[in-house]
A = this chain, B = another copy of it.
Amino acid sequence: MAGAQTDPSSQTGDQAGASQRVGDGPTRAPALRVAVLGAGVVGTQVVRILVEQAEDLAARVGARLELVGVGVRNLAADRDPVVDRALLTDDLSGLVARADLVVELMGGIEPARTLILEAIEAGASVVTANKALLAQDGPALYEAAAAAGVDVYYEAAVAGAIPLVRPLRESLAGDVVERVLGIVNGTTNYVLDQMTTRGLGFDEAVAQAQELGYAEADPTADVEGYDAAAKAAILASLAFHTRVPLDAVSREGITKVTAADVAAATESGHVIKLLAILERTEAGIQARVHPALVPVGHPLAGVHGAFNAVFVEAAAAGELMFYGRGAGGAPTASAVLGDVVSVARHRVVGGRGPNESVYAALPIAPAAEATTRYQTRLRVTDRPGVLAEVARAFAAHHVSIETVRQVGLEADGVALLILTSHAAREADLAATVAAVADLDVVGAVESVLRVEGA
């Protein structure tokens, strides 16, 4: 693919000795060697972004990131062409040994754990999205990293693209987290949302999730709550600075939720969500995963489809919510790359905080160049031809009309016209409104409001 190139000068002679040069952006320190373990949905996206955003990443890190290899278990498998075949290797330990930074995206306990420990012992920093491993062995890995003076970062392990680790560990470091309610599994949220909004039964909703790729052929890990329980254990450890082992999380899936349950929930003003619930109680930390009735007015009730959200109650901060995509190649890769930049910066600049420099220095566009949509409410004379006159004024200024609504005759001979434009230049929209206001048939421009988020 464009941007992926083999740099013969970095050949190291071993079987995966090719090196994919990742950009020639501004550099201030020797390049950091990055190894990616795993070339699945997430690994492929991480490699793509490492290549495509190389210059930006180099500016953010202060050093070039050099992709020295992509480790896979089976070299014979078909690969996304985004990964240069010359970079592939099945010598995973050998790849780890020649990296400053190891990105582990294989999943599962082994060989991921052994490879991560090898990386740490060799003085490399680690970024991982491996929730199963962290829920089981996270503390042991963090301790090994602390002893070796390297980082283990894992933002992508908890809720995909949603930034949670830094907010819980750093932003709330001066506060006391009292409770966390999380929708941390997109598959089950999709299934429950379809049951709620479209009246589907459980089996039907799961089948649809499978068709759309939101659920796997064997959906057990999702629908029985195992995936959510692993994330709950990691989140609880973060929120309460306490080791919460996976087997301390009580777990109940959504397989017993029926269409009748959903209908009854709706009737009583609730929606059913699979929640990870983590609480600081007098008896100690409570961690559980189960379907629950959530009042429709609660911010979590509005989390639809495969989205995730984590609602946090803290003593001083009050209620916080973090919302976004909890899975998928590109969203998870975003979280992985954020961690890659952080640990790489630690290696380059040591104790200094994140990069505050304005290296991008993009131009600032003049306000008149903004592209927006206007909804304009006009009081007009109610006679034939009015709409044509108004529409002509729009067309004369290159603004195209998306919808027109005529609302109630307010008085004899007067109508209210509500026009919504397609996206157009702010300057053209302003000129259109001025021209329309001058028309004889227009009594008044009652309001002009921009439309956003549509």
A: which residues have CB within 8 A of B? 45, 49, 53, 56-57, 59-60, 139, 142, 145-146, 149, 151-153, 155, 161-163, 165-167, 169-176, 181, 237, 240-245, 248, 250, 256, 258, 260-261, 264-265, 267-268, 270, 272, 275, 277, 279-281, 283-288, 290-295, 298-302, 307, 311, 314-325, 328, 330-331, 333-343, 346, 349-367, 369-371, 375, 377, 405, 407, 418, 420, 446-447, 449-454
A374, closest chain B residue (CB): B293
Name the B residues within 8 Å of A319 (CB-CB).
Answer: 307, 323-325
How distant is the Cα of A146 from the Cα of B353 in the complex, in angstroms? 9
- Could you tell me the distance in whole angstroms from the C-beta of A54 to the nearest C-beta in chain B? 11
Pair B337/A242 contact, Cβ less than 8 Å:
no
Interface residue SS majority, chain A:
mixed
Instruction: Please judge, given known A-B contacts A319-B324, A364-B284, A418-B268, whether A338 and B171 are in contact too, CB under 8 Å.
Output: yes
Name the B residues within 8 Å of A420 (CB-CB).
Answer: 268
Name the B residues within 8 Å of A325 (CB-CB).
Answer: 317-320
- Could you tell me the distance in whole angstroms from the C-beta of A280 to the nearest C-beta in chain B? 7
Pair A323/B299 contact, Cβ less than 8 Å:
yes
Pair B142/A356 contact, Cβ less than 8 Å:
yes
Pair B360/A241 contact, Cβ less than 8 Å:
yes
- Could you tell me the distance in whole angstroms from the C-beta of A451 to the nearest C-beta in chain B? 4
Interface centre among A165, A267, A351, A354 (most CB of B within 10 A): A351
Instruction: Please judge, given known A-B contacts A237-B358, A407-B267, whether A337 and B175 are in contact too, CB under 8 Å.
Output: yes
Copies in the complex: 2
Pair A243/B405 contact, Cβ less than 8 Å:
no
Instruction: Please judge, given known A-B contacts A56-B176, A371-B281, whether A268 and B405 are in contact too, CB under 8 Å.
Output: yes
Pair A354/B173 contact, Cβ less than 8 Å:
yes
Name the B residues within 8 Å of A270 (CB-CB).
Answer: 375, 451
Name the B residues within 8 Å of A53 (CB-CB).
Answer: 174, 176
- Could you tell me the distance in whole angstroms from the C-beta of A141 to the nearest C-beta in chain B? 9
Pair A346/B338 contact, Cβ less than 8 Å:
no
Pair B174/A170 contact, Cβ less than 8 Å:
no
- Could you tell me the distance in whole angstroms from the C-beta of A207 to the nearest C-beta in chain B? 22
How distant is the Cα of A174 from the Cα of B279 in the complex, in angstroms? 32
How distant is the Cα of A290 from the Cα of B175 in the complex, in angstroms? 33
A142-B356, A166-B171 are known contacts; what are 7 more A-B pairs with Cβ within 8 Å? A49-B174, A163-B320, A293-B451, A300-B453, A317-B324, A320-B324, A342-B353
Pair B318/A283 contact, Cβ less than 8 Å:
no
Name the B residues within 8 Å of A405 (CB-CB).
Answer: 268
Name the B residues within 8 Å of A264 (CB-CB).
Answer: 377, 407, 418, 447
Name the B residues within 8 Å of A335 (CB-CB).
Answer: 171, 317
Name the B residues within 8 Å of A311 (CB-CB).
Answer: 453
